[in-house]
């Protein structure tokens, strides 16, 4: 009979999933910044790239707290979301709709992260790991703020521009 898995195992597996995802995101964001047309969107992607580096460090601290080496585990969900974003870049590069497309794929990334960090934070709470809760919550706040900033950029101009050119 297989050994019984615990919530702690699930927590560590999910930590590996998001650790893998964050490193993929850190590689994708500069490409998104290059493809963006508006200076505001470029700046938003660059800012979030910096934040993502800090988030990777926070995850390394959480791995330390649970006494495990920081190691990623292939996350097919984020690979799929990033692949869709690359497709948008290929198909819409240089068009008036590129920024709207980039924002839509960036928001898919943020929503994935918000789901993962929300879960991890709740599990850390259940497992009585207050330090981990604080680290995960700090990242969760950044992901939510990024999501909101992207919505504002979309509403302010990007979607309008895409429409005018259509």
Q: Determine the interface stretch with Fe ion among 27-35, 57-65, 110-118, 126-134 (rule: CB under 5 A).
A: 110-118
Nearest partner of 105 among 25, 43, 40, judged by Cα: 25
Q: Which of 67, 63, 25, 29 is nearest to 45 (CA)?
A: 29
Looking at the Cβ atoms of 38 and 107, the one nearer to Fe ion is: 107
x/- map, 20-59, Fe ion, by CB under 5 A? --x-----------------------------x--x----
Rounded Cα gap, residues 87 and 82, in angstroms: 9
Scanning residues 49 to 108, which ones bind Fe ion (CB under 5 A)? 52, 55
CB neighbour list of residue 96: distance below 8 Å, 6 or more residues apart: 161, 162, 164, 165, 166
Closest distance of CB 162 from Fe ion, Å = 23
Site membership for Fe ion, residue 113 (CB under 5 A): yes
Of 50, 81, 60, 77, nearest in space to 16 by CA:
60
Q: Which range in 2-10, 70-78, 93-101, 143-151 contacts Fe ion by CB under 5 A?
A: 143-151
> What residues line the site for Fe ion (CB under 5 A)?
22, 52, 55, 110, 113, 143
């Amino acid at each position: 009979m297989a050994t019984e898995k615990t919530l702690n195992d699930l927590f560590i597996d999910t930590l590996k999933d998001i650790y893998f995802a964050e490193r993929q995101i850190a590689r994708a964001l500069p490409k998104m910044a290059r493809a963006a047309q508006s200076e505001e969107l470029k700046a938003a992607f660059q800012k979030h790239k910096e934040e993502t580096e800090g988030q990777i460090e926070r995850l390394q601290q959480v791995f330390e707290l649970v006494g495990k080496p920081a190691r990623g585990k292939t996350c097919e969900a984020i690979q799929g979301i990033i692949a869709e974003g690359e497709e948008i870049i290929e198909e819409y590069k240089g068009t008036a709709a590129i920024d709207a497309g980039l924002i839509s794929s960036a928001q898919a990334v943020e929503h994935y992260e918000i789901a993962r960090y929300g879960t991890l934070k709740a599990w850390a709470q259940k497992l009585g790991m207050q330090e981990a809760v604080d680290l995960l919550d700090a990242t969760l706040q950044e992901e939510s703020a990024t999501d909101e900033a992207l919505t504002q950029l979309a509403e302010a101009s990007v979607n309008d521009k895409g429409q005018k050119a259509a």
